[in-house]
Amino acid sequence: MKTTLWRNIFREFKFSFARFVSITTLLGLGVFVLVGLKMTGPDMRTTGDHYYTTHKMADAMISSNVGISAADQPYMRNLPHIKDIQFGTTKDAVIKDTNQVIRLSSSTSQVSISQVVSGRLPKRSSETAISNHENHHYKLGQHIKLVNNQDQASVSGLKKTTYRVVGFITSSDYLMKQNLGVTSAGVGQVDTFGVLDKAAFTSHQPTFAKFTYNNVHGESYSNQYENTVRKNVSQVENRLDNRAKLRQQQLKQTALTNINQRQRQLDAKTKRLNQQKNS
């Protein structure tokens, strides 16, 4: 009985060999796909964590259109759970003879640092390092010329409008090739990015603060990490909103004082002219 069973089995394999190969191949492909799906997620998260760690990615950032005052900086340093914080300046401009908008930020060394792919970071106010995605458009040593929205060779906030490319970089602040941010320059979309030495900016007052927390744990995409960061941000939002309102009042008061001072100067000048005219 057993011999007959095995004989029938081998006979089925012999006359259905093609079907056997097809089924075995499909099963093998299914196993490979399942293993791939199971391993892709953890591998991608591990790669992401390594990238963020290498770039010392910031957990959160504060930005200001009017600049962060000298009084606000120590206030931000003392916010709850701050581990490292670094201030810097950013400015958007249009690349001459193109529709591209480049976002230029001061180079940081502690938080959200730029990793050099080739070349080096800028050391002079006339140098820049730009996104590695632009290495097929520009070469090391080539110059980038910037203009404002009126196509004039003048960009508010920058000492120069021509910069020599000295390096190509990657940054954890810009993880996608597209959708790098919105801007008032050009057509309203940031197309690429770069870093400058802090001496390249006309103002010494920073416009952003990037920082890391000392109480965050777990992988970057884990619920534990996300919930802790969200809780930390929520904890200081009201305090920063109150600080912003206070700063707004100070700016209004300063502007009003300047207007009154200017008006007094004009009145005094007009009075002198009238006295000279009457004499």
Domain boundary among 163, 186, 202: 202
Listed in sequence order, the residues at least 6 apart from 177 whose beta carbon sits closer than 8 Å to its beta carbon are 133
Give yes or no: residues 38 and 118 share one domain.
Answer: no
Q: Considering Cα of 97, then 100, then 101, then 105, what sign does the dihedral take?
A: negative
Give yes or no: residues 26 and 127 share one domain.
Answer: no
- Residue 24 belongs to domain spanning: 2-54
Give yes or no: residues 94 and 161 share one domain.
Answer: yes
pLDDT at 261 over 70: yes
The count of structural domains within the chain is 2
Listed in sequence order, the residues at least 6 apart from 134 whose beta carbon sits closer than 8 Å to its beta carbon are 168, 192
For the entire predicted model, the pTM comes to 0.77
* DSSP assignments along 150-213, one per residue: TS-S--TTBS-SEEEEEEEEE-TT--SSS---B-SSTTSB--EEEEE-GGGBS--S-SEEEEEE
Decide: helix, strand or coil at residue 104.
strand
pLDDT tens, residue by residue, 161-219: 999 999 999 998 887 777 788 888 888 899 999 999 999 999 888 999 999 999 988 77
In a domain, 263, yes or no: no
In a domain, 107, yes or no: yes
Question: Helices H, strands E: what count in the chain?
Answer: 4, 10
Closest to 125 (Cα-Cα) out of 152, 89, 86, 168: 89
pLDDT at 279 over 70: no
pLDDT at 190: 92
Give yes or no: residues 96 and 198 share one domain.
Answer: yes
Decide: helix, strand or coil at residue 84.
strand
Helix 2-15 to helix 17-55 angle, to the nearest 10 degrees?
Answer: 70
